[in-house]
Copies of this chain bind each other. A is one copy, B any other.
Amino acid sequence: MSEQWLEQITWSADGLVPAIAQEAGTGRVLMMAWMNRQALQETVAGGKAVYWSRWRQRLWHKGEESGHEQLVKEVRLDCDGDVVLLIVEQAGGIACHTGRHSCFYRRLQQDTWVETDPVLKAPGAIYKR
């Protein structure tokens, strides 16, 4: 399989591209993380989201600890080729490590970030280790 599609991506100086995960059906934006070439390649090959963890400095198979995998239905690329959009099915309905549906659970109201989304499962129950 040709990998020309990977060459069409404008990778950052450190070889990464931001990847937005949006939930199929609800349209909710769940999270944004980063991918390197291998992460995107594995995501497309395997059909499950694989990111590059900048702080762990390794591939991060989303859900590897939590079970909250993302089944990838669509992969989209923006006009500049430097942002990827994934349309996903979110296992467990929880994308965030805080146990919430979406990582964007805070909303600016006046001059305060207010938590608007409930914790669906306590992190202690998600991460057993």
Contacts and interface: CB of A to CB of B under 8 A. Distances in A.
Interface string A38-56: 0000001000000000000
Contact of A77 (B4, B106, B111): B106
A79 interface: yes
A13 to B, nearest CB: 11
A51 to B, nearest CB: 13
Contacts of A5: 108, 111-113
A104 to B, nearest CB: 4
A78 B111 contact: no
Contacts of A28: 27
A32 B4 contact: no
29 contacts: A4-B111, A5-B108, A8-B113, A18-B18, A18-B32, A20-B29, A20-B32, A27-B27, A29-B29, A29-B85, A32-B32, A32-B78, A32-B83, A74-B107, A76-B104, A76-B106, A77-B104, A77-B108, A77-B113, A78-B103, A78-B104, A78-B106, A79-B97, A79-B100, A79-B103, A79-B105, A80-B103, A83-B104, A85-B104
